[in-house]
A and B are shown apart, each in its own frame.
Chain A
């Protein structure tokens, strides 16, 4: 649906020039939720703005839905932009217009009559759950409500693509989750391809299918959200994963040999890592029963990424040495990664 090839963009300013994008390439499939994560200044917004050509790349190609964006005439470009919705961190609602007026804004261009417009606006407000705010002005809305209106406005003309530039960065965690849930729902129901720009791994974890990690204008890592989350290859990616996962804290405590992980003689301390779709917990009690070992859970952390559980458990096994070894082998056979930390 979106194909970006070797896109570069340099901003010249009085204090020198900034290479915001360096030969960036990526492919986003139809109906996919594609995350772009990176620290401030990495070039994420510039990349997002290159998709609808709010920023014109210095070189490279941007293809959206089979159209080469960089070679369109201004008029064609405007037409193509109507097929690419965009929402922003600061919502960018028109303060002089009511919620109705804001959502109706793009519909006028689409040639809808007054009645059809009204019908569509109400439909959209029902979708985003703000029917009672139809006559409110943006100033009277909370951040989450404003973003819901902005989403309604962005999808009003049924675009094929929705670009979300830090759409939840100005919102509190609970509101963030509700907005992400709404975006996911829209993606499922309408099949809109989404590009989600963020600096929070939690956002990627919540809704993205695939993710690109950016640093200094380059994509340093790319892959399914699950694989990046489970085994990040780049340093930036690893630090993002760490920020969004409790497992990182467990590793730190183990490294520090915290008193919390001290074991008694005869016990074996092990870290179990598994990925799967649910029934894993039963493995532990099976191992315990079959081999006659006791398992004392010291830490546990579970993340669900793309409907897959990534679990980390730190256990203290106690029992016969051979039994513990057998239990560990049993777990390994069942796709659990067992690392003995201390014995």
Chain B
């Protein structure tokens, strides 16, 4: 304990606030992650199915989805945060705090995850789809029995990468909207020159990232045969 007081005097003064920030970061990551997961899967599947050689090849649909994702991905996140203020306010009733950060986080990470899913599904041997078709499977069957099953390890890898980048985005979103470890580091470490707060926030973020990576690896290992 003494050591903690020695190295993190300012952080130890406001442990409640520090833990609150950790919790907020986790909340933002979990909430935005969950929504992005479903939306990203949906878009990833849409890209795979409508893309070249896909089961429901459809150029216009693919073109629109593809471009939409590219556009979203090329807007810097900080700009997206401010640009989305009205939308956030309309949907969440507030544009500040953890609640205010979630919409931009979803918009920021869904396209990224959709690409991860698209890449994961592209890894699935085309022969498996052929085999399923030859056994009389419909595209719907193939989505659930081949893509969303044989793709699990690769999708898990995509989820891990997405969540880790999402943790990074929460820090940025928090800094603007308020809340989370990012805002903690800026408010105390940066603006009040209590550097140990910055390091404490950094360590907390690293631990979260390690935990995500560890769970992700575990899932990948358990689902790869």
Fill in one digit per residue for B188-225: 1 if any A CB lies within 8 Å of its CB, else 0: 00000000000000000000000000000000000101
Q: Is A137 an interface residue (CB 8 A)?
A: yes
Q: How far is the CB of B158 from chain A (nearest CB, A)?
A: 16
Give the number of residue pairs across the A-B interface with Cβ within 8 Å: 57
Q: How far is the CB of B208 from chain A (nearest CB, A)?
A: 29
> Given A78-B137, A79-B136, A105-B135, A88 and B225 touching (CB < 8 A)?
no
Q: Are B146 and A94 in contact (CB under 8 A)?
A: yes
Partner of B152, one of A80, A96, A109, A138: A96
Which chain B residues lie closer than 8 Å to A109 at the CB level? 135-137, 141
Partner of A81, one of B135, B149, B152, B223: B135
For A85, A109, A137, the residue with the greatest tally of chain B CB atoms inside 10 Å of its CB is A109
Which chain A residues lie closer than 8 Å to B134 at the CB level? 52, 54, 81, 84-86, 154, 163
Fill in one digit per residue for A118-153: 1 if any B CB lies within 8 Å of its CB, else 0: 000000000000000000011100000000000001
Report whether over half of chain A's contact residues are helix, strand or loop; otherwise say mixed. mixed
| Complex CA–CA separation, A122 to B185 (angstroms) | 62
| Complex CA–CA separation, A94 to B147 (angstroms) | 11
Residue of A at shortest CB range from B134?
A86
Q: Is A173 an interface residue (CB 8 A)?
A: no
Using C-beta atoms within 8 Å of the partner chain, give the interface range for chain B: 10 to 19
Fill in one digit per residue for B45-87: 1 if any A CB lies within 8 Å of its CB, else 0: 0000000000000000000000000000000000000000000
| Complex CA–CA separation, A74 to B125 (angstroms) | 23
Q: How far is the CB of A193 from chain B (nearest CB, A)?
A: 16
Q: Are B152 and A92 in contact (CB under 8 A)?
A: no
Which chain A residues lie closer than 8 Å to B150 at the CB level? 94-96
Residue of B at shortest CB range from A106?
B135
Which chain B residues lie closer than 8 Å to A94 at the CB level? 128, 131, 146, 149-150
Q: Are A92 and B127 in contact (CB under 8 A)?
A: yes
Fill in one digit per residue for B124-164: 1 if any A CB lies within 8 Å of its CB, else 0: 01011011011111100100011001101000000000000
27 contacts between A and B (CB under 8 A): A74-B138, A78-B137, A78-B138, A79-B136, A81-B134, A81-B136, A84-B134, A85-B134, A88-B131, A90-B127, A92-B130, A92-B131, A94-B149, A95-B150, A95-B225, A96-B149, A96-B150, A96-B223, A106-B135, A109-B135, A109-B136, A109-B141, A137-B225, A138-B225, A139-B225, A154-B134, A163-B134
Residues on A close to B: CB < 8 A? Answer: 52, 54, 74, 78-82, 84-86, 88, 90, 92-96, 105-106, 109, 137-139, 153-154, 163
Beyond A52-B134, A82-B135, 15 additional contacts (C-beta under 8 Å) are A54-B130, A54-B133, A74-B138, A78-B136, A78-B138, A80-B136, A86-B134, A92-B128, A94-B150, A95-B150, A105-B135, A109-B135, A109-B136, A138-B225, A163-B134
